[in-house]
Amino acid sequence: MDIDVRTDPRGAIFLDPDAYTDPEAWHATAAELRAEAPVLRIEADGYQPVHALTRHADVFEVSRRNDVWHNTQRSQVMPEWLWQVIVGMGINPRTLVHLDGTEHRDHRQVTNDWFKPAAVRHRQGDIDAIADEFVAKMADLGGECDFARDVAVPYTLRVIMSIFGVPPADEPTMLRLTQGIFGAADPEYLGDLASPTEVGLGAIGGFGDYFGALAADRRAHPTDDLATVIANGEIEGCPLDDDAMLWYFIIVATAGHDTTSYALSGGLQALLDRPDQLAALRA
């Protein structure tokens, strides 16, 4: 990959929330950047300068070459104030996203068997039943609904909670904590709290309480669910320490429903915008 770094103000589309309210304009700008600035430096108020790769082939190369390109605490772009809070509180995120090489492999191996095709097929019936439930719910909404709120979010949340082996009654707690992690600065989630820091740190503490109790239960009463696998996970014969276990639970829980719900919502929007593709899917 030839590196010719440029500073381009159009790169602000990656950090400016308002840019995502106009998908057509966003993608048009991204196409320009792919053609003209495959590697660019982005400078924005409130953020440390970051570099963006705009072409798929380059992103793919970097993602597979962890011997050259390293994951760090800053693997996720975040406002500088939030980064300073994390550092000041001594919080050290150590999810699969932050690990490289053999360390990443060893941590991934903890749950690898659980996600193999045969294991997934074993649970396909349960997941299909949940999907059927939400399809029926959507049909009962009278031809109009907020798909993200009414279907995508609760459906993916129900699936990941069933994989953990916890009851639907815990779903509101998990949703609140996830929104606290990813939407701490969003006025919609601040509620009565004045500081995004309170929301974010409260969410991390809440995850610690919830998953700590879940892990203790699964160690005492193991089952065949994913929570049991993580709670009793080992690396090189040593049990996962409390921090490693907590971040493992967090990455599976949040990636398992938050990003998946966005994919479902965005996918439906794309199909509605392209009737020919919707027709092809139905054929």
Residue spans of the domains in the chain: they are: 1-69, 79-282
**3-state DSSP helix/strand/coil percent for the chain, to nearest 5?**
70, 5, 25
Residue type (1 letter), 272: L
Which pLDDT value is given to residue 184?
60
Tell the burial category of 10 from Cβ atoms under 10 Å away from its Cβ (0-12, 13-18, 19+).
Answer: middle
Report the alpha-carbon distance of residue 11 to residue 180 in Å, rounded. Answer: 27
What is the SS3 assignment for 16-46? CHHHHHCHHHHHHHHHHHHHHCCEEEECCCC
**Rounded mean pLDDT, 12-17:** 88
Q: Which residue, among 70, 69, 71, 89, has the nearest Cα to 81 in the 3D structure? A: 89
Report the alpha-carbon distance of residue 164 to residue 87 in Å, rounded. Answer: 30
Encode pLDDT of 127-146 as tens digits: 999 999 999 999 999 888 99
Which pLDDT value is given to residue 73?
66
Report the alpha-carbon distance of residue 254 to residue 160 in Å, rounded. Answer: 9
Encode pLDDT of 49-93 as tens digits: 888 999 999 999 988 888 888 777 677 777 777 777 777 766 677
Report the alpha-carbon distance of residue 104 to residue 110 in Å, rounded. Answer: 10
Encode pLDDT of 169-178 as tens digits: 999 998 888 8
Q: How sure is the predictor about 187, in pLDDT bands with cuts at 50, 70 and 90?
A: low
Which pLDDT value is given to residue 194?
57
- On the question of pLDDT at 124 being above 60, the answer is yes
Q: What is the CATH T-level fold of the domain 79-282, as seen in this structure?
A: Cytochrome p450 (1.10.630)
Residues in the chain: 283
Encode pLDDT of 147-158 as tens digits: 999 999 999 999
Which carries the bigger pLDDT value, residue 116 or residue 129? 129
- On the question of pLDDT at 267 being above 90, the answer is yes
45: phi then psi, degrees, rounded to nearest 5: -60, 135
Task: Pick the most confident of 29-43, 76-90, 175-189.
Answer: 29-43
* Angle (CA) 32 35 37, round 5°: 85
